[in-house]
Amino acid sequence: MAQPGAERNSLGYLYMSGEYAPQRTTSPTGLDRKVGAAARLAADSAMGDQGPGLLLEAPGGDDGREMWRIARDTQVLDVNSPYSYLLWCRDFADSSVVVRDGDRVCGFITGYIRPRSAVTLFVWQVAVDQAYRGRGLAKRMLDYLGDRVVATGGRYLEATVTPDNIPSSRLFEGFARDRGCAVERHTLFTTEQFPRGHQPEVLFRIGPL
Ligand SMILES: CC(C)(COP(=O)(O)OP(=O)(O)OC[C@H]1O[C@@H](n2cnc3c(N)ncnc32)[C@H](O)[C@@H]1OP(=O)(O)O)[C@@H](O)C(=O)NCCC(=O)NCCS
């Protein structure tokens, strides 16, 4: 018999009132996973004032148009052609993610599985609309893709960061830290390899996840 103050949640887990009950959240693959008290706290804190309407899912349909707009508005990302974002949503949706606030796309990550390393997801671009920054959204998108990598047998997540992009470095370092993963770094592309002035791109290889 349950102790006074103890309750069961929908999963049948016993917990004391006032504690965070283990919850099921739906991972990107539709695979359910259990989230304990600590992760629940982190998730709640990451939610901040995002409100309940935010939805993370694979991009599709016309999302490429909004992804292009968000990339352009960052004023720091290399903006690819609108066509490339549309094509991305068609062919690489499973390794990418968007965040929706109602009908509005407010953040995205484009990624692909490296043809020469099927266990590695390369994250190409991460962007969050200015009004939605600082609320843990980019981290949640990375977690979404990280969970997907693991669920599909992958082990590593890679991304490149320019040395002056502190928010981006923090994002990937925080992702690695929270998953207890190592981060290897080396310069992938030097300034000289670009056709015109461009900072070096430093590869972050995170894993095993
Ligand atoms: C980088 C970017 C995606 C971060 O989005 P975000 O939703 O605000 O990031 P989060 O709130 O999820 O924060 C993730 C981590 O980065 C840190 N961080 C985010 N913005 C930061 C900033 N301006 N300065 C320092 N740290 C920052 C957070 O503190 C957090 O670290 P923690 O895990 O240790 O707490 C967003 O600033 C952006 O779109 N920038 C322009 C595009 C860009 O530079 N993309 C990255 C290169 S592809």
pLDDT digits (tens, 9 = 90+) for 58-86: 999 899 999 999 999 999 999 999 999 99
> pLDDT by residue (tens digit) across 88-127?
999 999 999 999 999 999 999 999 999 999 999 999 999 9
**Ligand 1 lined by 135 (C-beta under 6 Å):** yes
Atom of ligand 1 nearest to the CA of 165: 44
pLDDT tens-place string over residues 156-199:
999 999 999 999 999 999 999 999 999 999 999 999 999 988 99
Taking the centre of ligand 1 as the mean of its atom positions, its distance from the CA of residue 164, in whole angstroms, is: 13
Q: 17 with 82, same domain?
A: no
CA of 119 to the centre of ligand 1 (A): 25
Instruction: Establish whether residue 137 lines the binding site of ligand 1, counting it when its CB lies within 6 angstroms of any ligand atom.
Output: yes
The minimum-distance atom of ligand 1 relative to the CA of 137 is 7
Q: Is 128 in the pocket of ligand 1 (CB under 6 A)?
A: yes
| Closest-lying ligand 1 atom to the alpha carbon of residue 125 | 48
Do 140 and 110 belong to one domain? yes
Containing structural domain, residue 25 = 1-37
Q: Do 187 and 202 form a contact (C-beta atoms < 8 A)?
A: yes
pLDDT at 199: 94
Pocket test for ligand 1, best of 133, 166, 172 (most atoms within 8 A of CB): 133
Residue 46 lies in a domain: no
- State the pLDDT at residue 61: 87
pTM above 0.85, yes or no: no
Q: Which atom of ligand 1 is nearest to the CA of 129?
A: 39
Residue 45 maps to a domain = no
Residues 78 and 12 in one domain: no
105 and 199 fall within a common domain: yes
Which among 170, 177, 198, 199 is the best mutation to test ligand 1's pocket, defined by most ligand atoms within 8 Å of the CB? Answer: 170
The residue written with tokens 């994250």 in the block is 123
33 with 133, same domain: the answer is no
Q: Is 184 exposed, middle or buried (0-12, 13-18, 19+ CB in 10 A)?
A: exposed
Q: Are 87 and 63 in contact (CB under 8 A)?
A: no
User: Is any atom of ligand 1 closer than 6 Å to the C-beta of 70?
Assistant: no
- Extended beta strands in 84-181, E state: 97-101, 104-114, 117-128, 156-161
Residues 172 and 71 in one domain: yes
Total count of domains within the chain: 2
